Structure 1
């Protein structure tokens, strides 16, 4: 289900990929849709920002 939702978000320009990486950014349109349709609040969507932020925590499977 997650892969299908992600593909739908890409197809509708709710998110954009950053190059060939796994990094994505939520677009202004995506933020509006996620607020309206899923009830996600401002704080949850601002974490995605227009530019992705990096975390110092390792990804899954990394130690």
Structure 2
């Protein structure tokens, strides 16, 4: 299966490095980015999703502080 996901294999060290919180934050941002990308491809008019994601990211930063 490594041939099916070359980027995952290429960046395996980055995906598994950092603290628990850093990996969690990275995963959440990756998921939200993917959802936003799909949303942009599927809708010509959309609510301000970027603003919502910025608010979510800000909440994670406050929790870590």
Bigger radius of gyration: 2
Higher share in strand: 1
TM-score w.r.t. structure 1 length?
0.29
